Structure 1
Amino acid sequence: MITDELRLLPARAAQFIRRHRDRGDSAPETGFSVLEVLVHCAPVRGDAFVAFQLLSRRDLPASDILQQDSLDDALDVFDSFAVTEHECEETFGPNWPQVMMHALDAAAVLHDRFGELRRPSDVVDSRPRLAAWVCARDAAWAAGRIKSWYRAQDAAWERRYMDEVTLREDEQLCSDLATAVRDAAAALAVADLVGTDDFTGSHFETLLEPWRLCSPEGASSRPRALHR
């Protein structure tokens, strides 16, 4: 599940930063934020968002934009970090393979096939959807996994980044897609907790359904199979 591209991404990012630091460049094409450096360096787009969440547990520079005086701190993190199954589980919980698969699928669909996306159904704004989300959150909290639950959602749709770069011709579509993508991640992160703390299989399916409905070719059919 952990690909060579993902394993090598921190090293690629470190190499990119060193190259521009040595030149004295400000790298305007990336803005030198940690996330945008990862996006720039990732052969597989979704790996950048996964790696950013993995790295978020470390002492990254506080500023979103890397300043010259913080580059050494960022490089120390990149150089010392190894993408392992242990790191993935600590970041995303025991369902990390499904969470990461969804993040990669969502990133690919949103970037390469945005025009093919169908509008999510009305269930995005429905009371059943909200109730399902609350029950999933409560199950994550009771299991001591609330931080990994939110990280799973951020890996699929990182708000500070995606809310800025996603096409804005249809604000409602963008908002609904964000909800659908993040809800699917929220469900997958606690798939093993179905049946605990009032979180039912129906809640799980309710959270997955909007992304299935709007994705080309039902991109989230795999999560359904994983849950059986």
Structure 2
Amino acid sequence: MFILKRQDVEISTIQHPKQDQLLQILYYQGQTFCLISVFKANQEEEAKALWRELTDNRGKACVLLEEPARYSVWRKVRLKQIGCDTGNPSRTRILTQACLLLLQAVYMDVEDFLGSRQAALFEKDIAQVLQQWQIPQLSSPKLVKNLLNMDLQQVSQIPSWQEHHIITLLQELHRLAKAYFGNTNFAEQVVDRLQDMPEGERDLFISWLNLSSLSKLWH
């Protein structure tokens, strides 16, 4: 739809009507948009790829905001909508569960192949990443430690995230794991790492992954 500069828009934060979290809202010419995903300044191509995927292929009304330190993609919404998620709660829960299964699998790989000392460092690094990006319900190292070891079959324990949180976590997990392993072998055979999920839910995640900007990272 549009590529905008920071001076073109107003951005504010509102309280989510049903969850204990804040939402970022962008205002442009009387229209409102909610944040979907954030990219670093050197990820211009990834940001534009997601923006084009949503606008050209899915017909969504979106803007790409270009700032000195980052790029961000925003989707048009009505403020009366409950939240700004890009899917229904059950769909988002499935995406979150798959994301966390991949996180736990990479963490176990670090421990198996690099040892417990590196696993402890990885745990510390992923905690810093999650806090840096303000991923909800992960405000302390203790909560992150619980996440890495929790039984994800217990649906009630799965965090309430939005789609942009999932995308951000998988992007940062790939970057961090690549630094630890020195290659991207860990990102292959995603299906095999999700064997604990029901087939239909696993297929939903794989389809979403293949259509997202993450398809070049995880396969």
**How does the TM-score come out when normalised to structure 1?**
0.37
- Using CA pairs below 8 Å that are at least 6 residues apart, which structure has the higher relative contact order? 1
Structure richer in helix, relative to its length: 1
Alignment TM-score, normalising by the size of structure 2:
0.38
Larger strand percent? 2
